[in-house]
């Protein structure tokens, strides 16, 4: 249940979405969380594996490489020997255009990768994907501007000393 194919719910009401027989390629967004305890190199390999799978079966429209983030809520997963709880994960997403058959293959294959702790699959559009990329780039530029250069950061001790000198 943790790994759901949301695409069916999003496209509900269309015959193509319900039976998966559509011959027209559609645009999907796959967002996935990778295990936060993976070494950096393994995170890159896991992302590359998913990306190559998608590229082999479809056309990639947009993507976001893995970035470690805190999760809004704890994700629990039962493993063979114990239950694991995750409060952070490497989040990544890939938007791609594929036939219903190729899409089903991608989702099935991603679903068995143990490095992925949870994923969501949505029906989307190319325009929405491109807009998301633009918004992300703008957000990153804004956050870079807000950061103060280290040379301008003053420690509390330096500030106290400066105030004492001016008081004398």
Average pLDDT per consecutive 10 residues, the chain (168 residues; last block may be shorter): 39 41 84 96 97 96 94 91 94 96 96 95 91 82 68 64 71
* Residue environment code for 24-59, b if the CB has 16+ CB neighbours within 10 A, otherwise e: eebbbbbbbbbbbebeeeebeebbeebbebbeebbe
Assigned CATH for 7-167: 3.30.70.60
CA distances from 70 to 67, 89, 103 (A): 10, 7, 29
The domain ranges of the chain are 7-167
pLDDT of residue 141: 80
Cβ(52)–Cβ(70) below 8 Å? no
What pTM was computed for the model? 0.70
């Amino acid at each position: 249940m943790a790994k759901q194919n949301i695409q069916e719910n999003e496209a509900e009401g269309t015959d193509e979405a319900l039976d998966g027989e559509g011959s027209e390629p559609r645009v999907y967004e796959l967002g996935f969380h990778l295990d936060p305890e993976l070494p950096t190199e393994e995170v890159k390999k896991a992302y590359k594996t998913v990306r190559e799978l998608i590229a082999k079966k479809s056309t990639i429209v947009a993507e976001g490489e893995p970035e470690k983030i805190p999760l809004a809520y704890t994700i629990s997963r039962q493993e063979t020997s114990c239950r694991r709880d995750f409060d952070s994960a490497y989040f990544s997403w890939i938007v791609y255009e594929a036939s219903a058959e190729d899409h089903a293959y991608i989702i099935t294959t991603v679903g068995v990768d143990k490095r992925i702790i949870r994923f969501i699959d949505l029906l989307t559009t190319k325009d929405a994907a491109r807009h998301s990329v633009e918004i992300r780039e703008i957000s990153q530029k804004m956050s870079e501007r807000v950061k103060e250069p280290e040379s301008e950061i003053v420690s509390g001790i330096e500030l106290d000393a400066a105030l004492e000198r001016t008081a004398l």
